[in-house]
């Protein structure tokens, strides 16, 4: 009787090899990153899937800053910028004039002026100062004025009187004053204020 052991050994080896291959897992190959898709509805009942391309990024060398693209401004944008620049210049010019006006009104060598009340919030766009008068002593005159919507002095009422010549001078100049008119979005109305004139005989 032939010896069957070699066959049995061979069969056992083949079974072991098959078992080894059965338990070995083969790692899957690296897949490409999935592409992004979006759905575009062309008709109420039709949907098409369209591939979305990833935004291209321009790489720069180490240490280099990315180049910035300069956007050209439209003619409308340039016009708006120029208009804003002109408005700023005009506003600055008005502020300089107001500063000079305040220095003259409140710091004149021969007569000082003080404006109080609601009209002090309105810009004085035209004024005349009383001339230097031949007074024997300092004189202070206080008046109540009413200003119309257009900015003109409508009435003058003396609250504190002094020298008659100074009073006449104050009345004459006040009717030549003009304040800034009320804005169009404000209902026209009269505004009151108090203006004090101090005549100095021997200014420093």
The CATH number of the domain holding residue 103 is 3.30.2420.10
List C-alpha distances in Å: 161 to 39, 69, 85. 88, 72, 48
pLDDT at position 136: 87
Look at residue 41 and tell me if it is in a domain: no
Mind listing the pLDDT tens digit of every residue in the chain (204 residues)? 556 676 777 777 877 777 776 666 544 554 555 555 555 555 455 445 555 555 555 555 555 555 555 567 888 888 888 888 888 887 777 656 555 555 555 455 678 899 999 999 999 999 888 888 888 889 999 999 999 999 999 999 999 988 899 999 999 999 999 999 999 899 999 999 999 999 988 766
Which single residue is written with the structure tokens 């002094």? 162
Please give the pLDDT value at position 38.
55
147 close to 191: Cβ distance less than 8 angstroms? yes
Nearest to 120 by CA among 98, 97, 92, 91: 98
* Cβ–Cβ < 8 Å for 112, 134: no
Provide the 10 A C-beta neighbour count for residue 111: 23
Instruction: Confirm whether 38 is domain-assigned.
Output: no
pLDDT for the residue 75: 83
Q: How far is 83 from 91, CA to CA, in rounded Å?
A: 12
In the prediction, which pLDDT does 55 show? 54
How far apart (Å, rounded) are the C-alpha atoms in residues 145 and 56? 73
Choose among 138, 152, 124: nearest CA to 197: 138
Work out whether strand 178-179 and strand 111-117 pair parallel, antiparallel, or are unpaired. unpaired
Structural domain boundaries, residue 131: 84-199
d(CA 38, CA 159): 82
CB 141 within 8 Å of CB 168:
no
Structural contact between residues 176 and 128, judged by C-beta atoms closer than 8 angstroms:
yes
- Domain count for the chain: 1
Q: Does 51 reside within a domain?
A: no
How does DSSP classify residue 43?
Answer: E
Q: Specify if 17 maps to a domain.
A: no
Residue 113 domain flag:
yes
**Nearest partner of 129 among 150, 143, 115, 108, judged by Cα:** 108
Number of other CB atoms surrounding residue 105 within 10 Å: 18
Residue 18: what pLDDT?
75
193 forms beta bridges with: 117, 145
Distance CA 172, CA 170 (A): 5
Q: What is the DSSP letter of 149?
A: T
Give the pLDDT confidence score for residue 135 in this predicted structure. Answer: 86
């Amino acid at each position: 009787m032939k010896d069957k052991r070699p066959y049995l050994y061979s069969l056992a080896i083949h079974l072991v090899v098959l078992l080894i291959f059965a338990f070995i897992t083969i790692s899957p190959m690296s897949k490409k990153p999935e592409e992004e898709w979006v759905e575009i509805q062309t008709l109420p009942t039709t949907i098409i899937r369209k591939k979305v391309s990833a935004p291209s990024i321009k790489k720069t060398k180490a240490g280099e800053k990315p180049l910035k693209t300069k956007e050209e401004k439209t003619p409308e944008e340039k016009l708006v910028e120029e208009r804003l620049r002109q408005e700023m210049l005009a506003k600055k010019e008005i502020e300089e004039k107001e500063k000079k006006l305040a220095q003259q009104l409140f710091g004149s060598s021969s007569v000082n002026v003080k404006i109080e009340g609601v009209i002090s919030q309105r810009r004085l766009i035209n004024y005349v100062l009383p001339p230097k008068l031949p007074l024997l002593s300092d004189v202070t005159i206080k008046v109540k004025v009413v200003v119309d919507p257009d900015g003109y002095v409508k009435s003058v009422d003396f609250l504190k009187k002094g020298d008659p010549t100074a009073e006449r001078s104050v009345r004459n100049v006040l009717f030549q004053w003009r304040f800034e008119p009320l804005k169009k979005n404000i209902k026209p109305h009269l505004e009151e204020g108090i203006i004090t004139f101090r005549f100095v005989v021997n200014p420093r």
